[in-house]
Amino acid sequence: MSEQRQPAAGADYALEALCGRIYERHRDTIKVQKPHVAVANLVRIVEAVLTLSNRHGFHATTLRDLSRAAGISMGGLYSYFDGKDTLLLMILEQVADAVIEALEAVPEPVRADPAEHLAWLIATHVALSETMQPWFVFAYMEAKAFPPPARKAAVASELATERMFAQVLEAGVRAGCFSVADVDFTATLIKPLLQDWYVKRGKYRKRGVNAATYAARVSDFVLAALTPRPAAESETPLPPKASLPVGKASTPRNPTRKRKVD
């Protein structure tokens, strides 16, 4: 199973390994005993549900579609999860775990230089979201629509990665190699740049941009914005008045019209 494992991180982000972890985490609800059978079928289920959901949305994906795509009967599916929501949760958990695990495995020498550390975080995140692209898209698109446990976990995960960026920025500011007005805000701005890679990957593909190139360009862009300028700090004075017309105090806040029956 392991063979060409690069860092000593001990984590593997291939489909099969990820499904193995799902199996272990949900041993109690998964009714199939033999691990190799269970994991093999989980692979087919997860692969199918990611494909179908990323095309039409999780809610629009029916278990009959999933059954056909995975090659497992309706009843068979219920040996692997006790309801549609659980299936969603299985995937979301795995994504959140993978992100934190991958980004925390920063090599010690890299951590020394804030600029290099930042570039490493960006490159690692892009590489991870490239390997697990369908998972990331799924988590990003479906996280909002579901039960509090999943929502909380997703938000927490996002904040955790944001904090990692903030810490690096702060270290850079202290070391004098970054010039940042608001560390937290700038850290927040980096996240959407990383998300764009997997959310709109098709667009980049079409333009011949691959993961490594994307990461390098984003690093360049971000580092350019952070690098202290010699003098002439021309902060944008304030945005040019770009107020949109919004016809007086319209938009009645309480348009409750009485119905016949309540």
Q: Which of 56, 57, 73, 184 binds DNA (CB under 7 A)?
A: 73
CB of 28 to a second copy, least distance (A): 26
CA-to-CA distance for 117 and 122, rounded, in angstroms? Answer: 9
Stretch that binds DNA, among 73-81, 115-123, 192-200, 216-224 (CB under 7 A): 73-81
Any contact of residue 74 with DNA (CB under 7 A)? yes
- Decide: 190 and 165 in contact? Cβ < 8 Å: yes
Any contact of residue 11 with a second copy (CB under 8 A)? yes
* Token pair in block for residue 246: 């919004």
Instruction: Give the angle subtended at the CA of 13 by the CAs of 49 and 38, to the nearest 5°.
Output: 55
Any contact of residue 188 with a second copy (CB under 8 A)? yes
Three-state DSSP class for residue 142:
helix
Q: Which amino acid does the sequence have at 211? A: A
- Given CA atoms 41, 47, 50, 51 in this order, what sign does their dihedral have? negative
Q: Which of 32, 47, 134, 170 binds a second copy (CB under 8 A)?
A: 47
Any contact of residue 84 with DNA (CB under 7 A)? yes
**Residue 85: which region, alpha, beta or left (left: phi > 0; alpha: psi -120 to 50)?**
alpha
212-241 binders of a second copy (CB under 8 A): 212, 215-227, 229-230, 235-236, 238-240
* CA-closest candidate to residue 211, choices 222, 219, 201, 199: 201
Any contact of residue 248 with DNA (CB under 7 A)? no
Q: Which of 41, 54, 94, 129 binds DNA (CB under 7 A)?
A: 41
Burial (0-12, 13-18, 19+ Cβ within 10 Å), 204: middle
Judged by beta carbon, residue 29 or residue 203, the one nearer a second copy is 203
Select from DNA, a second copy, none the partner in contact with residue 84, using the beta carbon and a kind-dependent cut-off of 5 to 8 Å: DNA
Residue ranges in contact with DNA by CB under 7 A: 31-34, 37-38, 41, 61-65, 71-76, 78-79, 82-85, 259-261
